[in-house]
Amino acid sequence: GESVGLHLPTLSVQEGDNSIINCAYSNSASDYFIWYKQESGKGPQFIIDIRSNMDKRQGQRVTVLLNKTVKHLSLQIAATQPGDSAVYFCAEGGGADGLTFGKGTHLIIQP
């Protein structure tokens, strides 16, 4: 079946460095993508989204890039801080109400 998945289960970066979290999707009909952050014991928290008619979208310290040719999505976090430590999920919305989540990447910020 078609799914959303992540390349790496764990990413460790130094505080202050930039982080890049990747996600691959297989449904070429997908037209809406979202990144969520989940801290331990909490629900997913919206970070940023992007529609398929865009290649890039920027927020505060975060940038999402969408490459529809290779069905790839990435989340860039600039100048990572200890509070960025969490599991990051990409999710796909494509015409249905519910979102399809990927497996998650655990981002670890080292001091």
Partner 1 sequence: EPEVTQTPSHQVTQMGQEVILRCVPISNHLYFYWYRQILGQKVEFLVSFYNNEISEKSEIFDDQFSVERPDGSNFTLKIRSTKLEDSAMYFCASSEGAGGHYYEQYFGPGTRLTVT
Measured distance CA(74)–CA(20) in Å, rounded: 7
How many whole angstroms separate alpha carbon 60 and alpha carbon 64?
11
Site string for partner 1, 28-47 (x = CB under 8 A): ----x-x-x----xxxxxx-
93 binds partner 1 (CB under 8 A): yes
Q: Is 7 in the site for partner 1 (CB under 8 A)?
A: no
104 lies in the binding site for partner 1 (CB under 8 A): yes
Residue in 24, 65, 78, 99 binding partner 1, rule: CB under 8 A: 99
Q: DSSP characters for 33-47?
A: EEEEEE-TTS--EEE
Q: Nearest approach, Cβ of 9 to partner 1 (angstroms)?
A: 10
* Number of residues located near partner 1, criterion CB under 8 A: 25
Burial class (CB in 10 A: 0-12, 13-18, 19+), 76: middle
Q: Which is nearer to partner 1, 84 or 89 (CB)?
A: 89
